[in-house]
Amino acid sequence: MEKFAVTGGNRLSGEVSISGAKNAAVAIIPAVVLSDGICRIENVPNIADVTLIASILEAMGADVKRLNKSTLQIDPSGIKTPVASYELVRHMRASYYLLGALLGKFHRAEVALPGGCDFGVRPIDQHLKGFAALGASHNVSNGMIRVKSEKLLGSHIYLDVVSVGATMNVMLAAAKAEGRTIIENAAKEPHIVDLANFLNSMGADIRGAGTDIIKIRGVSRLNGAAYSIIPDQIEAGTYMAAVAAAGGDVLIKNVITKHLESITAKLREMGVEVEEYDDAVRVRRTGELRHCNIITMPHPGFPTDMQPQMAAVLIKAKGTSIVKEGVWDNRFKYVDELRRMGAKISVNEKTAVIEGVDVLNASPLKSTDLRAGAAMIIAALSANGTSNIEDIQYIERGYEDVVEKFRSLGADIKRIHTTETNTQTA
Ligand code: EPU
């Protein structure tokens, strides 16, 4: 089994460069299925989720070439089947984007029910409602979802909950539908805009992405394109939080500062200095951390995917902080791990009350999911002693070169191999 061994106490300093956005990449790569040409995608993060989605396309017949560490060239012309392999797909929540992309291409799709991180019920009713409005029926059996339609017709869709996945999936299915589709109450995350820009660069006609009304005029053909994915807002936020927790002075490069505004605002409230440049932020923490309250909301609210990392900073801030989770039902599973380090946190339903402590002590830790794993690294960096973090496969799903990047900032983190076997299933 592989673990990360993190010894706390080192301040962070130097520069770190942020990779492409995971949650954009996992939608943009399946979107290539819709293209009648070859696509070159740059600034692709080199993470397990991307390797998985690329290998799913390859298994379906696409020609996928890695031109360099961050560039993929994909020729989807060999994809002749609307069926995505169960064995690969079931491990990855974002494989549901294949439903929209294959439905758009073949008017039929068969994809395993989504897996991914577990923080409560993760329904896809809004995705299916969107497909139904375009004329597709669905059924679920033997762990597979099947959607099909004679033809896809543009329609007016109101999403009952703001859903990133449903918004992107309807965009994928509607890009080549006949006529105009309007999505109301659409999600506004930066990766929604990135997917729309990618589809438009292939010849789609999508307007309004980034607002809550998206208008899609279907086109009959999408061409190959060259496109560069936006920087990862959450990876950047994670390093910002790490500097806040460990102390130090770090320049975080290749970011879009606008996407970091809510994170920057909260860190400043906590007494952390954040200076914004064109495509970088400098984060400095020299004094004590102050408590603050956070409530997670769909964009432009505070991102739920930064909630565990910020809690890992607040556990050592002076005073009492309240963190409310406004998106997922159960995103506080990691709290037990932090408590074993000496953190004082009580959780009632979707609210955590954190009383800052002066000292955290190293402890064996588990990553209960991707962002919880990032929170474990952050907490361990500010604890006394060496914490071993298990289940690092969750962290590596979404963070490129996480050990190398933290080490380059002076953190004492290393990957260790042990002979124990890991009993937890993904
Ligand atoms: N929801 C429904 N019905 C649906 C879809 C969603 O009720 O059909 C509910 C969910 O249960 C949840 C809320 O709507 O309470 C928001 O879910 P959303 O669909 O927006 O989430 P997602 O698309 O499954 C993506 C990210 C998550 C991130 C959320 C919210 C990807 C691959 N995943 O998930 O990222 O937390 O949006 O921003 O884009 C992560 O990166 O760590 C991660 C979990």
pLDDT in tens, 158-183: 999 999 999 999 999 999 999 999 99
Q: Which atom of ligand 1 is nearest to the CA of 164?
A: 20
All structural domains of the chain: 2-19+231-417 (3.65.10.10), 22-228 (3.65.10.10)
| pLDDT attached to residue 112 | 84
Q: What is the pLDDT of residue 140?
A: 86
What per-residue confidence (pLDDT) applies to 118? 55
Cα separation, 179 vs 181, in Å, equals 7
Q: Which of ligand 1's atoms lies nearest the C-alpha of 120? A: 11
Structure tokens at 377: 């690294």
Determine what percent of the chain is predicted with pLDDT higher than 70.
96
Longest dimension (CA), the chain: 64
Choose among 334, 413, 418: nearest CA to 377: 413
Residues with a catalytic annotation lie at 117
Q: What is the pLDDT of residue 425?
A: 33
Q: Which atom of ligand 1 is nearest to the CA of 187?
A: 20
| CB contact at 8 A, 317 and 289 | yes
CA of 158 to the centre of ligand 1 (A): 17
Q: Which residues line ligand 1 (CB under 6 A)?
A: 23, 26, 93-94, 117, 121-127, 161, 163-166, 187, 304-305, 327-328, 370-371, 398
Distances (CA, A) of 333 to 56, 279, 307, 330: 30, 34, 12, 7
Ligand 1 centre distance from Cα of residue 165 (Å): 6
Ranges under pLDDT 70 in the chain? 114-121, 420-426
Paired sense of beta strands 320-324 and 294-295, if any: parallel
Q: Pick the closest to residue 375 from 412, 350, 343 (CA basis).
A: 343
The answer to whether 243 touches 272, Cβ cutoff 8 Å, is yes
> If you count them, how many residues does the chain have?
426
Single-letter code of the amino acid located at 401: D
**pLDDT at position 187, please?**
98
Distance between Cα 166 and ligand 1 center (Å):
9
pLDDT score for 222: 98
